[in-house]
Amino acid sequence: MEQRLDKTMAVLERTPGALDAMLRGLPEEWTRSNEGEGADGAETWSAFDVVVHLINCEKTDWVPRARTILESKDGEVREFPPFDRWGEIRESRTKPIGEVLDTFARLRAENLAKVRTWQLGPEQLAMRGRHPALGEVTLSELMATWAAHDLNHLHQISRVMAHQYREAVGPWKKFMGVMVCEGHGA
Amino acid sequence: MEQRLDKTMAVLERTPGALDAMLRGLPEEWTRSNEGEGADGAETWSAFDVVVHLINCEKTDWVPRARTILESKDGEVREFPPFDRWGEIRESRTKPIGEVLDTFARLRAENLAKVRTWQLGPEQLAMRGRHPALGEVTLSELMATWAAHDLNHLHQISRVMAHQYREAVGPWKKFMGVMVCEGHGA
């Protein structure tokens, strides 16, 4: 289906509540454990780390990129500001999960309020920016990606948590896709 | 990590709230759309269908199987009652999603209350039943699988929803694992 702002916002509004319901108060073995070393030998993310990544994206990715697009003039296509995938993660690990869930919910609500003030129409949504690796993208694609990125990380958190029970489930492991999903690099 | 009842229950308690926060009130294009035809040519499940499947599992899978194990005597290993993967799905599609979310939350709460009355200890958790395809399994593995199965279906719902935006995200598709995940048969 096509990106439509009300459908995109409906997902974006619900993610903080979904993560809160899923993670707040859980034993830390669920929220602080990761999948070990990734295929590239790098450290992987815990559910906690993913929430911090979402916070970092609220601050430095979606809205700043949208502004870059909306502030361009005369058909100019401006490059997005840099984004650090590991931003805030390592230095946030001493925080309680309740605090990062609260921060994420607050930033998301503020950002969606900002987006609503922009009153985006088809003309704005067709405007373009330049992604450092992907080249030209539209504001519509950026908005769709914001929502899909939430789903991508819910998908990841479910997988990272399930990974902790890969031995505990015994022979059932082979019946659950989540146990064999390797994350496809994301 | 090992199955421990408090950790398992902590996940099981949270799933209805997580699904509710994620799905209630969403435009139906998100909740009623599936991934098209599966690799085997069969119809795939929408987010709505998955919640109905979870309801059916609360009724006919976890607790009945646990009872089969706990009611066995003198070291007997009894076969689990049959389970229908498509149970209730097609006939439930006329219901509103709020209704199935309510039903799932109620059944899950009732089942967890039942489990608490059993006061399971190491001796019970080591008891066995026979799965029609997997052979002998322990009650501990069944309990771990109940929780992991929730995560498996949260993983699936995230993927099924993300699938609806696979074109809308434009070139970002290749950066999101959820877009290329094929579900691994689950």
What does B93-125 look like in DSSP terms, one character per residue?
TTS-HHHHHHHHHHHHHHHHHHHHHH---HHHH
pLDDT of res. B184: 56
Contact A3, B165 (CB under 8 A): yes
Tell me the two tokens of residue B170.
Answer: 């434009």
Nearest CA to B114 out of B143, B136, B89, B149 is that of B143
State how far residue A56 is from chain B, nearest Cα, in angstroms. Answer: 17
A103-161 tens-digit pLDDT: 999 999 999 999 999 999 999 999 999 999 999 999 999 999 999 999 999 999 999 99
Identify the band that residue A182 occupies on the pLDDT scale cut at 50, 70 and 90.
low
Cross-strand bridge partners of residue A135: A131
pLDDT band for B87, please (50, 70, 90 cuts): confident
Q: Which strand (E) or helix (H) includes residue B16?
A: helix B5-23
CA distance B130 to chain A (A): 12
Tokens 């993983």 found at: B155
Taken as a whole, chain A contains a residue count of: 186
Element (H, E) at B8: helix B5-23
pLDDT value of residue A39: 77
Q: Which two tokens stand for residue A92?
A: 């946030």
Over the range B49-72, which residues count as b (16 or more CB within 10 Å of their CB) and which as e? bbbbbbbbbbebbbbebbbbbeee
Kindly determine whether residue A170 and residue B18, on different chains, have CB atoms separated by under 8 Å.
Answer: no
The Cα A70–Cα A9 span in angstroms is: 18
**Quick check: A27 and B11 in contact, CB under 8 A?**
no
Token representation of residue B160? 């099924």
Average pLDDT of chain B is 94
The yes-or-no verdict on residue B102 having pLDDT over 70 is: yes
Q: Is the pLDDT of residue B182 over 90?
A: no
Half-sphere exposure of B31 (CA within 13 A, CB side): 23
From residue B177, give the alpha-carbon distance in Å to each of A52, B158, B180, B181.
Answer: 19, 11, 5, 6
- Do A178 and B186 make contact, defined as CB atoms within 8 angstroms? yes
Strand partners, B136: B130
Contact B177 A152 (CB under 8 A): yes
* DSSP bridge pairs for B128: B138
Per-residue pLDDT averaged across A150-174, rounded? 96
Using CA atoms, how far residue A95 sits from A43, A101, A150, in Å, is 19, 10, 22
Q: Tell me if A177 and B161 make a contact (CB, 8 A cut-off).
A: no
Best interface-test mutation with A: which of B143, B165, B179, B180 has the largest number of A CBs within 10 A?
Answer: B165
CA–CA separation, B18 vs B71, rounded Å? 33
Q: In this predicted structure, what is the pLDDT of residue B186?
A: 45
Side by side, the strands of the sheet bearing A135-138 are A78-79, A128-131, A135-138
pLDDT band at A4 (very low <50, low <70, confident <90, very high): very high
pTM of this structure: 0.95
Distance CA A177, CA B155 (A): 9
**Nearest CA of chain A to the CA of B132: how many Å?**
12
* pLDDT value of residue A186: 45
